[in-house]
Amino acid sequence: MTFIGTLISFAVSLFVAIIGTVAVAAARHSHPNMTVAYRQIALPAAAVAASIIFVLALIMEIRHYRQSKTLAALEGLIDTRG
């Protein structure tokens, strides 16, 4: 999930960066420098998104582990009483 989220965020941020780079170049009447879109906008945005996605996935997995552990303990209590 982290890898796919990173790829999607890189693609979206690159698309937005290319549009912005072309718009700025058109406003300045110059040629667009596409390396700026890759190196200074899309790659850092994808790195930030990857770290956020990783932390959120980790939190979700920890919640799931704790919930299943609690449910297993409750199941054990019900089985011993019933």
pLDDT digits (tens, 9 = 90+) for 4-27: 988 999 999 999 999 999 999 999
Q: What is the pLDDT of residue 25?
A: 94
Domain carrying residue 60: 2-81
DSSP state of 40: I
Q: What is the pLDDT of residue 38?
A: 87
Overall pTM > 0.85: no
Are 37 and 11 in contact, with CB atoms under 8 Å apart? Answer: no
Q: What is the pLDDT of residue 74?
A: 87
Q: Provide the 3-class DSSP secondary structure of residue 68.
A: helix
DSSP state of 37: I
